Amino acid sequence: LADDDAPVTLSERLGLDAEAQALRLAFYGFGEADRAELVSLAPICDRHLDEYIADFYAHLLRFPALESLLRSEPGRVAKLQGLQRSYFQQMVSGRTDEGYFESRLRVGDAHQRLGVAPQWYIGAFGLILRLWLRVLAEETESREELVRRFESLIKVVFLDMSLALDTYILGGFVDRDKADRLERATAMAEDALRVKQNTERLKDDLSSMVVHDLKNPVNGIAMMVQLALRKGTELPEAHRGYLLHIDRTCREMLRLIQNLLEISQIEDGKMPVTLETVTMAEIAAEVALQSEPPPGESGRSLRVEVDPTLPPVIADRGLLRRILSNLVINALRHSGSSDIRVEATASPGEVTIKVIDRGAGIAPDDVPRLFEKFRSVRRSPSDTPIGDTGLGLPFCKLAVELMGGRIGVESAPGEGAVFWLSLPSIVTR
Ligand code: HEM
């Protein structure tokens, strides 16, 4: 549209052309008889206008929100009363032409701009009708005439009200107070999100620094210790014990570093995954072999009871081994249970493997946090969560989901825990 063709009047902006205006009047049942009826009310209106306007403002001023709006500028009430006087006179002019529509739309538009919420404005139309009813009851002789007059007034008031609502909607009226509160809440939420994103970025930076700066030295120490253990056959038993302890600690650190590294790889979408058919029994046996409880913790036992005839799953062999290994090590270290079992079951299209302990269990509040990054959950009062950064479970969740599987835990305090993971299986007949 060229500027000259752009709609200028409110009727044009609302698409309220002559046809639409006629349709509106028809729907409100407004006709020639109503025009005549309203014109006949003009002398009554004139006689009662002062008292009418006084009552109208007395009512509005009883409500503090409206009073402050009305008194926000000196002389506003007096000015308004003048404007309203002609508004009421137009109401009984019998005119419902284009100019009438436009004037009604303008008044509605003015109120929506002023921030007079629709509930006040509609209530004020109701008040107009009630004031009229009171006057007409006094001034009309027959009941039939009262009904006719009042019907015509209802039609014109509802017409005005509908036009006012059109402009409220056109203006996209928003309750200022509520909008301000919403805006403040949004700003607070955005701030919190920014702080959270910054913290996440800091954590990620820290993680990658830790990984790169720690992995090589720890690897170096581990290699030297293994060399010393292999070559140092004449070492005293106590020294061998120290070296074995260092070896275990190094492997533990490497496991954490590896988890951290893989979590960021998965998050960056850079984790290579090779899916193949794998049997759970095989993986469970390999994990059991690696995770035998170390000496000193020999009070704990690990039983693996996985049926080798279960359908194979589709998984990355290395990844699955590391997931299961994390779950088993967690149970051995943190459940406080002396007896850990690994079992598996098949359901259509899926095999589920479970790591079951009979330890202290997990508090219901802690369950949702278990798989979150950088959250460690204390599994028993004597457990030190510091011992593990909690990265094992977040890694497991990301890795299982990467292979199209699911992971979860079922537990109740005092009743042990069952960590389970399900992976898609080859369908066998
Ligand atoms: C159906 C009932 C109402 C009618 C017929 C009416 C009528 C009018 C008219 C004709 C104007 C002048 C509009 C213009 O500038 O073109 C006006 C303005 C205004 N009305 Fe109303 N009004 C009604 C309800 C209310 C209510 C409920 C409030 C609440 C406080 C209100 C507050 C105002 C204010 C603050 C102005 C602006 C006055 C100015 O220009 O300083 N009105 N009204």
Residue-wise pLDDT tens digits, 16-26: 999 999 999 99
Distance in Å, CA 19 to ligand 1 centroid:
29
3 state DSSP class of 373: coil
Task: Please provide the average confidence, as pLDDT, over all residues in the chain.
Answer: 87
Query: Which of 115, 113, 109 is closest to 68 using CA atoms?
Result: 115
Out of 111, 113, 153, 156, give the residue to mutate to test ligand 1, the one with the largest number of ligand atoms within 8 Å of its CB.
111
Looking at the CA of residue 72, tell me the nearest atom of ligand 1.
Answer: 35
The pLDDT, as a whole number, for residue 35 is 96
**Which tokens hold the place of 412?**
């109740």
Percent of the chain with pLDDT over 90: 58
Residue-wise pLDDT tens digits, 162-204: 999 999 999 888 777 777 888 899 999 999 999 989 988 887 7
Distance in Å, CA 80 to ligand 1 centroid:
6
- Nearest residue by C-alpha to atom 39 in ligand 1: 76
Looking at the CA of residue 76, tell me the nearest atom of ligand 1.
Answer: 41
DSSP letter for each residue of 273-338: ---EEE-HHHHHHHHHHHTPPPTT-TT-EEEEE--TTSPPEEE-HHHHHHHHHHHHHHHHHHS--S
> Is the CB of residue 106 below 6 angstroms from any atom belonging to ligand 1?
yes
Out of 114, 132, 173, give the residue to mutate to test ligand 1, the one with the largest number of ligand atoms within 8 Å of its CB.
114
> Is the CB of residue 83 below 6 angstroms from any atom belonging to ligand 1?
yes
The pLDDT, as a whole number, for residue 295 is 44
Residue-wise pLDDT tens digits, 244-298: 999 988 888 888 888 888 887 888 788 889 999 999 999 999 998 877 655 445 5
3 state DSSP class of 366: coil
Distance in Å, CA 107 to ligand 1 centroid:
7
> Is the CB of residue 69 below 6 angstroms from any atom belonging to ligand 1?
yes
CA distances from 181 to 119, 120, 171, 185 (A): 19, 21, 20, 6
Q: At what angle do helices 118-139 and 32-61 cross, to 10 degrees?
A: 110
What's the whole-number mean pLDDT along residues 11-15?
94
Looking at the DSSP bridge assignments, the partners of residue 302 are: 340
Helical residues (DSSP H) of 92-142, grouped into ranges: 98-114, 118-139
Query: Which of 115, 126, 114, 112 is closest to 163 using CA atoms?
Result: 112
**pTM, to two decimals:** 0.51
